[in-house]
């Protein structure tokens, strides 16, 4: 974390305070909308032709008067000259059931205000506000009857005028990646700290000192937790938040396409939702379903083929330097269709070879996993990186030592499936050309999930990972996959914005620094992500790394992992994902089978989640109750280890899991088990950092304690620095 | 044509002469290569580290010393510092048979010099020269063993230092289109005339005053005909020729991609061939097979499904304003999948309706055509143009009044096929997403040819019609089509460069102003294209327009056609294409059935072609002898009208066709029939402009004369201004 001198800080604050008070006041005849619990109030007015809104909570400003509008290319801007020509209030209350999730039922309860705006020149623009108890969502809508039909956005000018110099957990704006570690600072400090001297990434594009990414977690001096994000980003670029110089006002800053256009729209159409979450506690942020609720209901009729999955992978051994994705050292460069792999000399370190894959399958099957991911199975890995090479992979042709039909048959014979890997090297052009054949190959051999990757700069040339055409590509890949009954886990794609409600075959995303960066991010990283990246949907964080050595060749990723084993166990509960990996190598787990037991026992899909304690970047403690219907759904045949844990002795037990993680500081925490069924006794297996555990000096020290507990029990647990704990609870 | 004052011309010439003499002299130890007939001599040398070449004919300079090389992006240029590290001479003589063409056998006879160049810094570059009797081809090759593996071109710096201020027939350089009319001027006049004040095109990008397009036809003061072009443009941008200021030297000017990169290469690789044709007469230019010979042999194993085709189309009635591509006026804009066509009110002017298509089929079948093209059959035409709309067509869904299965069945019952139409609106992204389904739909219903279109600016955004990624798209479409046994006729794509030798399912291209522009181009246009656009491959010029009224809505395309009916007939012989249209409406042909007879009788595939007389922009007279094996190959069943003409009374006759077209001036021409079999009598049907015919005042006046002739006959024929003639000859 950067240090600023008190003098500099004071100067900054003075500057901010001098500029902050807005000249705009909301007029008395503003339209006002209250949340169902009446505590949040949105006001909207057209002030001198400018659409403007505010947000209060209990009469106290959350957002000061903030402008709404757009600058357009080659036509009149949508910034001023508007009249309010209509408005409508509505309210909505519905409980829906996600295909998978943190809880079995989600309440979607809001009051709505739709305003119809028109310019004298004929442009029509509506704004739809939805006010929930836990925050605001609003979007622009462009009706069919409009002077606007096709139009191009120069910039969206939506403002969020913050009412104070809040604390923020932020990463720098970037058109291509969210793979950065978080900085905690005051808003007024952001512009000074946010320089273009960031760690290397295979594709990155710095924006400006003011630009930070969403979801942006904030905390006010009063202890309110605010969170700015967006929901349902489709056919529109992802936005950043640009802190305007000398103010505390954020403005949207969209990702341009190859021609610098920040969105090409055709009426009738709508933008993504802009969201402002307002919570009294950090745990309420984790419990919020605002982003999911603002997305459309499920678009897939038959969802029977979508299932939560716990998996292992031939992956970490390449990340940690033990083996390679590639097969040979014969070729200075590869031209698919020309390069002769059949006669190439293997370099002997190819991870995805038949024997090794069978070894993983034997271990994973014996321990009740659902699936195995294998990276480096297909030709091209000798030469895939950093050259913006178009025809980089064909997604069809295995290396000579990877028997695709045979290995699938072997996996299926053990009740497991293989997970396909499609690294696109960010050539969406090439991937789309092969997609139909690649998905069909998966169907042919019984793969039902794919991990896709978007490492490196995008082709089509000049596009960014977050620009509209590429966002459309990610969506296209998910929709096409759904047609093939394939689940998608996209890495390096745009951060999700709740689209998994509509397309629940989007079972995972990366879009942040995952576990493989743990050697180089501050310990608080895993206590930050659930407030930021995970707000939009689950992350394939790949927890479960017990060994500490990292030797990946990518810059900035060598060194020792900085977490304890119990931190890794805690993540299986604190990070929600329907796709959860046990990322370490079989031989490493074999040395810690007692701790590995928790990874075997923990479920991945839930009917209830309780957020017991949390503070961004500091700690998170979560308790979850599994969804029984999906305990075994990832298996082709036989029992999953979770099923066996829950159905011990052949009968269902009531089961809970509790996990905790902490950041830079060691802490103690009292876990009250009052969520257990009263009067029922449970066997608790408690996985805790040993008293002398420490992420730097003693990361592999843990204790495992078996206790009988009930709903009156309070467990006092100590977490080491960058440590954690995990508890499985099963009724006796 | 523009007029220049004599004073201005003299000043220009002075300027040019002052700058023209080159300081570089070829050293005595140059490598020299001679054409098989020894008349052309290429010299190559590395002069002070710079690769340099010259071309002489009979000891007289064609090209003065000209540099070779590249500027690269972010690495050392390939311009100087080279050493000659090796060289090899070779020669080649082979006769090959095209799947279709102007003659049944083509001789490929050349001497070759390969030079190996290397820089001290390790970059290796080879140049392969092939010298034919009729010209030079050379290309750069980058071997595998190289400091260069991946590299990006800032500019290719290949020079063509012309030895005189030749006459040129040129169109302005443009990254997106060749749809311009030709200017005839001295080289020294180009920069003054080549301004950015050109007719509107749906997609165009002016380059510079010096830039002109290839193929560039030139004529020297000595009466030599030179032609600069390229061959086999694949995975590389198309080039223009940039006349360097104050010189007579052209330099290559490649088309950039969306990031301004003019080519992304991966060794081992090669560039397209740069070609310099050198001919003693204009007819030799038309007879040259240089471009085809420099392309690779046929890559398609089974070519049985590829066949020459004579077709009609539901097309000109939209072009001429009688009907529309679209179906309804209900929608201000269309969103496919949302817009409800089923309940839309038809505007009543939709050309591609069942009754109208059946009417065309009845007429075309009765007159022995092979196929019928129908444009406007698929939903989306209300809103397809000029908005860079991505999801513009799905290529699958017919309008409510177009019964796709029924009309195909109806066509097949008459021995004909329908030709599919795929207007991409230049969204290659969208087209590639639908291509597999679209081609499969074609297979399902028995379409075996597609006319594709690329109107408007390209998506991916920032790409051009001639940039490398889009050239790869055109090729991808052709290769995928071949997999589906589909022939491709791409309009608005890059001008072809002989690739039809390798991919003979590329049966047509537009890539120039076709017949629908005849109201607005000078009459000499059709006497120019065979020297320029047609050098790279056949053009779907869509001849056969007998009526003169044009009312297309596109700017610059209204007015009266400027040609006589006999000019249109002559084109069927002077323009070679294996895909030949009778473009006018059935009702117009019905009024001129005697003239229409020639269109019915004329063949479209040849075993011999004779170029009797030609001058660029002035006139062309050609005689052709059909390939008997393919006379009937376009039909599903029954006889084509050509077959019936040749097999009159059920036995084969010897048959020839002669065609002539002229430009702005009326001319007389003596056609010597000495190519006929000696001692055999032929029935000649002579379609000639009437004595009072004139393209402006009396375009539809013609005479038809039947005569018995033999090889001693000389026919004296008069061609009106923008007129022509046509003769069919059948042995008695």
Determine whether A516 is an active site residue: yes
Question: Are A461 and B257 inside 8 Å of each other by CB?
Answer: yes
pLDDT digit string (tens) for B681-720? 999 999 999 999 999 999 999 999 999 999 999 999 999 9
pLDDT value for B12: 43
Question: Are A462 and B436 inside 8 Å of each other by CB?
Answer: no
CB A267 within 8 A of CB A126: no
pLDDT at B222 over 80: yes
pLDDT digit string (tens) for A108-157? 999 999 999 999 999 999 999 999 999 999 999 999 888 899 999 999 99
Q: Give contacts of B 245-274 with A, CB under 8 A.
A: 257-259, 261, 264, 266-268
Domain B512-575+586-732: top CATH class: alpha beta
Q: pLDDT category, A519, cuts 50, 70, 90? A: confident
Q: Does domain B299-492 have CATH number 3.40.50.720?
A: no
pLDDT value for B145: 81
Where residue B388 falls (left for φ over 0; alpha for ψ -120 to 50; beta otherwise) is left
- Candidates 3.20.20.150, 2.70.98.10, 1.10.287.3510, 3.40.190.80; correct CATH number of A20-293? 2.70.98.10
The beta-carbon neighbor of B266 closest among A149, A333, A436 is A333
pLDDT at A181 over 70: yes
| A707-711 mean pLDDT | 98
pLDDT at B414 over 90: yes
Q: How far is B325 from chain A (nearest CA, A)?
A: 21
Question: Are B259 and A258 inside 8 Å of each other by CB?
Answer: yes
- pTM for the full predicted model: 0.94
Q: What is the 3-state secondary structure (H, E, C) of B679-716?
A: CCCEEEEEEEECCCCECCCECCCEEEEEEEECCCCEEE
Number of Cβ within a 10 Å radius of residue B476: 16
pLDDT digit string (tens) for B489-546? 999 999 999 999 999 999 999 999 999 888 888 999 999 999 999 999 999 999 999 9
**Every domain of chain B and the residues it spans:** 20-293, 299-492, 512-575+586-732
Q: Which of A142, A459, A462, A481 to mutate to test the interface with B (most CBs of B within 10 A)?
A: A462
Of B577, B640, B584, nearest in space to B609 by CA: B577
Q: Which residue has the tokens 């003019």?
A: B262
- Chain B residue with Cα closest to A333: B149
pLDDT value for A23: 59
pLDDT digit string (tens) for A314-342? 999 999 889 999 999 999 899 999 999 99
Q: pLDDT category, A200, cuts 50, 70, 90? A: confident
Question: Are B462 and A258 inside 8 Å of each other by CB?
Answer: yes
For residues B23 and A49, the model is more confident at A49
Where residue A263 falls (left for φ over 0; alpha for ψ -120 to 50; beta otherwise) is left
pLDDT value for B548: 79
| B120-146 mean pLDDT | 96
Residues of B in contact with A261 (CB under 8 A): 461
Dihedral of alpha carbons A518, A524, A529, A530, sign: positive
- Chain B residue with Cα closest to A469: B460
Taking all residues of chain A, what is their mean pLDDT, rounded to a whole number?
A: 94
Q: Which residue has the tokens 């093939």?
A: A484
| B204-233 mean pLDDT | 98
pLDDT digit string (tens) for B7-21? 444 444 444 443 444
At residue B471, the 3 state secondary structure works out as: helix
pLDDT at B550 over 70: no
Residues of A in contact with B335 (CB under 8 A): 266, 268
The answer to whether the B20-293 and B299-492 domains have the same CATH topology is no
Q: How far is A268 from chain B (nearest CA, A)?
A: 9
| Catalytic residue of the set A159, A375, A516, A547 | A516
pLDDT value for B196: 86
Q: How far is A80 from chain B (nearest CA, A)?
A: 25
Question: Are B332 and A149 inside 8 Å of each other by CB?
Answer: yes
- Chain B residue with Cα closest to A470: B460
Q: What are phi and psi of A469, to 5 degrees?
A: -65, -30
pLDDT digit string (tens) for A642-681? 999 999 999 999 999 999 999 999 999 999 999 999 999 9
Interatomic CA distance for residues A308 and A631, integer angstroms: 8
pLDDT at A106 over 80: yes
Q: Which of B269, B462, B468, B469 to mutate to test the interface with A (most CBs of A within 10 A)?
A: B462
- Flag whether residue A479 sits within 8 Å of chain B, measured between CB atoms: no
CB B701 within 8 A of CB B689: yes
pLDDT digit string (tens) for A188-197? 999 999 998 8
Taking all residues of chain B, what is their mean pLDDT, rounded to a whole number?
A: 94
Q: Which residues pair with A160 in a beta bridge?
A: A250
Q: pLDDT category, A558, cuts 50, 70, 90? A: low
Alpha carbon distances (Å) from B256 to A477, B326, B732: 29, 35, 58
**Token duo for residue B181:** 């009319």
Task: Identify the weakest region by mean pLDDT among A165-179, A248-262, A711-725, B1-15.
Answer: B1-15
Question: Are B461 and A461 inside 8 Å of each other by CB?
Answer: no
Interatomic CA distance for residues B507 and B305, integer angstroms: 12
- Flag whether residue A192 sits within 8 Å of chain B, measured between CB atoms: no
Residues of A in contact with B432 (CB under 8 A): 429, 432-433
pLDDT digit string (tens) for A366-419? 999 999 999 999 999 999 988 889 999 999 999 999 999 999 999 999 999 999
pLDDT at A302 over 80: yes
Question: Are B462 and A459 inside 8 Å of each other by CB?
Answer: no
The beta-carbon neighbor of B258 closest among A258, A268, A436 is A258
In what helix (H) or strand (E) does residue B305 lie, and over which residues does it extend?
none
pLDDT at A255 over 50: yes
pLDDT at A8 over 60: no
- Chain A residue with Cα closest to B392: A266
pLDDT value for A198: 82
Q: What are phi and psi of A619, to 5 degrees?
A: -165, 155
Q: How far is A269 from chain B (nearest CA, A)?
A: 10
pLDDT value for A332: 84
pLDDT value for A10: 42
| Catalytic residue of the set B516, B547, B615, B618 | B516
Per-residue b or e along A509-531, where b marks 16 or more CB atoms closer than 10 Å to that residue's CB? bbbbbbbbbbbbbbbbbbbbbbb
Per-residue b or e along A661-690, where b marks 16 or more CB atoms closer than 10 Å to that residue's CB? bbbeebbebebebebbeeeeebebbbbbbb
At residue A200, the 3 state secondary structure works out as: coil
- Flag whether residue B388 sits within 8 Å of chain A, measured between CB atoms: yes
pLDDT value for B365: 98
CA neighbours within 13 Å on the CB side: how many for B381? Answer: 25
- Flag whether residue B440 sits within 8 Å of chain A, measured between CB atoms: no
- Flag whether residue A388 sits within 8 Å of chain B, measured between CB atoms: yes
- Flag whether residue A681 sits within 8 Å of chain B, measured between CB atoms: no
């Amino acid at each position: 974390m950067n240090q600023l001198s008190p003098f500099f800080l004071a100067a900054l604050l003075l500057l901010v305070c001098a500029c902050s008070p807005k000249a705009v006041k909301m007029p008395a005849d503003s339209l006002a909308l209250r949340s169902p619990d009446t505590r949040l109030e949105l006001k909207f007015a057209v002030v001198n032709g400018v659409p403007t809104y505010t947000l209060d909570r209990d009469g106290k400003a959350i957002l000061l008067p903030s402008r709404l509008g757009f600058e357009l290319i080659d036509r009149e801007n949508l910034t001023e000259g508007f009249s309010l020509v209509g408005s409508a209030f509505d309210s909505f209350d519905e409980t829906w059931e996600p295909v998978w999730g943190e809880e079995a039922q989600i309440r979607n309860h809001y009051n709505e205000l739709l305003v119809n705006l028109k310019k004298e020149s004929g442009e029509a623009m509506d704004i739809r506000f939805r006010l929930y108890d836990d925050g605001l969502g609003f979007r622009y809508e462009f009706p069919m009857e409009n002077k606007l039909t096709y139009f191009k956005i120069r910039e969206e000018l939506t403002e969020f005028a913050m009412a104070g110099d809040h604390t923020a957990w932020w990463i720098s704006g970037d058109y291509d990646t969210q793979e950065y570690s978080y900085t905690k600072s005051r808003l007024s400090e952001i512009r000074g700290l946010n320089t273009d001297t960031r760690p290397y990434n295979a594709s990155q594009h710095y924006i400006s000192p003011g630009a930070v990414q969403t979801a942006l977690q904030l905390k006010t001096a009063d202890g309110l937790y605010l969170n700015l994000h967006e929901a349902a980003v489709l056919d529109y670029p992802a936005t950043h938040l640009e802190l305007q110089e000398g103010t505390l006002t954020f403005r949207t800053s969209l990702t341009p396409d190859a021609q610098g256009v920040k969105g090409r729209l055709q009426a009738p159409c709508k933008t993504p939702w802009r969201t402002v979450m307002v919570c009294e506690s950090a745990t309420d942020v984790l419990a919020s379903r605002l982003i999911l609720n603002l997305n459309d209901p499920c678009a897939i009729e038959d969802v029977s083929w979508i299932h939560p999955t716990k998996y292992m992978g031939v992956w970490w051994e390449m990340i940690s330097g033990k083996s390679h994705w590639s097969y040979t050292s014969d070729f200075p460069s590869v031209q698919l269709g020309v390069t002769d792999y059949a006669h190439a000399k293997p370099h002997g370190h190819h991870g995805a070879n038949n024997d090794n894959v069978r070894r993983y399958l034997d271990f994973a099957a014996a321990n009740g996993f659902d699936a195995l991911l294998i990276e480096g199975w297909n030709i091209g890995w000798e030469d895939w990186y950093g050259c913006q090479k178009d025809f980089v992979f064909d997604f069809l042709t295995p290396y000579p030592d990877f028997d695709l039909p045979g290995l699938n048959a072997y996996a299926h014979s053990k009740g497991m499936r293989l997970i396909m890997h499609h690294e696109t090297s960010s050539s969406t052009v090439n991937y789309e050309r092969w997609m139909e054949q690649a998905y069909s190959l998966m169907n042919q051999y019984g793969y039902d999930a794919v991990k896709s990757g978007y490492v490196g700069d995008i082709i089509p040339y000049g596009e960014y990972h977050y620009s509209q055409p590429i966002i459309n590509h990610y969506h296209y890949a998910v929709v096409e996959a759904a047609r093939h009954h394939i689940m998608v886990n996209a890495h390096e794609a745009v951060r999700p914005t709740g689209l998994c409600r509509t397309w629940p075959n989007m079972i995972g995303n990366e879009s942040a620094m995952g576990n493989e960066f743990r050697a180089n991010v501050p310990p608080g990283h895993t206590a930050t992500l659930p407030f930021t990246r995970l707000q939009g949907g689950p992350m394939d964080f790949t927890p479960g790394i017990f060994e500490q050595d990292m030797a990946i060749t990518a810059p900035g990723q060598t060194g020792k992992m900085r977490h304890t084993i119990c931190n890794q166990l805690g993540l299986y509960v604190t990070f929600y994902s329907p796709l959860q990996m046990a990322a370490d190598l079989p031989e490493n787990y074999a040395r810690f089978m007692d701790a590995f037991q928790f990874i075997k026992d923990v479920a991945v899909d839930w009917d209830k989640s309780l957020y017991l304690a949390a503070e961004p970047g500091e700690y998170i403690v979560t308790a979850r109750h599994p969804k029984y219907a999906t305990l075994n759904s990832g298996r082709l045949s036989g029992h999953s280890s979770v099923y066996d844990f829950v159905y011990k002795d052949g009968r269902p037990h009531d089961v809970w899991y509790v996990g905790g993680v902490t950041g830079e500081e060691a802490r103690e925490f009292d876990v009250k088990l009052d969520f257990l069924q009263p009067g029922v006794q449970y066997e608790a297996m408690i996985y805790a950092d040993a008293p002398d555990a420490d992420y730097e000096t003693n990361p592999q020290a843990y204790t495992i304690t078996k206790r009988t507990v009930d709903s009156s029990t309070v467990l006092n647990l100590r977490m080491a620095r960058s440590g954690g704990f995990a508890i499985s609870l099963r009724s006796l």
